[in-house]
Amino acid sequence: MTEVAFHFNVSGKVDYACRLLRKAVDKGARVIVTAQPELLRELDVALWTFDALEFVPHCRAGAEPAMLAASAVVLAASLESPAHQQVLVNMGEEVPSGFERFERLIEVVGQDEEDRLSARRRWKHYADRGYAIVRHEIRSEAA
């Protein structure tokens, strides 16, 4: 069964995601990130620029198969044909369709009330289906 974790109280979702993805890649994880297209564009740019000394290898879901296979992180608006099924990071407002195929799901939740309300709906969705959920309250922005 998919491990589900919520990271609450994130002050900057894109910055937090960059650090989270860097940490995941350093540990050898392969990650797919879902979100609305505009947030994925912002994350794509941030992954190139957030740290001058490091690069988080990533690509968009529509990339060539060889690029998808070589990239530790794939940015995808949907999970129609995921490149892998190890870790899914959801920065979006909805439950990602097909999340149950992944070993782990990490929900990144900001501080604004609308984001918190949509997170509560997703939490209920997972809980109603029997998923054990781990809650992480982010006090500092260190991922």
Whether 112 is in a domain gets the answer yes
- Decide if pLDDT at 141 tops 80: no
Whether 27 is in a domain gets the answer yes
- Decide if pLDDT at 12 tops 80: yes
Q: What is the average pLDDT score of the chain? A: 93
Whether 58 is in a domain gets the answer yes
70: tokens are 């070589």
Q: What is the pTM of this model?
A: 0.94
Could you give the CA distance from residue 63 to residue 68 in angstroms, rounded to a whole number? Answer: 6
Whether 114 is in a domain gets the answer yes
pLDDT of 40-85, one tens digit each? 999 999 999 888 887 898 999 989 999 998 999 999 998 886 677 8
Whether 111 is in a domain gets the answer yes
Domain ranges, residue 16: 3-137
Please state the domain count of the chain. Answer: 1
CATH of the domain at 11: 3.40.50.10110
- Decide if pLDDT at 140 tops 70: no
Whether 143 is in a domain gets the answer no
Whether 142 is in a domain gets the answer no
pLDDT of 88-104, one tens digit each? 999 999 999 999 999 99
At residue 139, the pLDDT reads 82
At residue 58, the pLDDT reads 94
At residue 128, the pLDDT reads 98
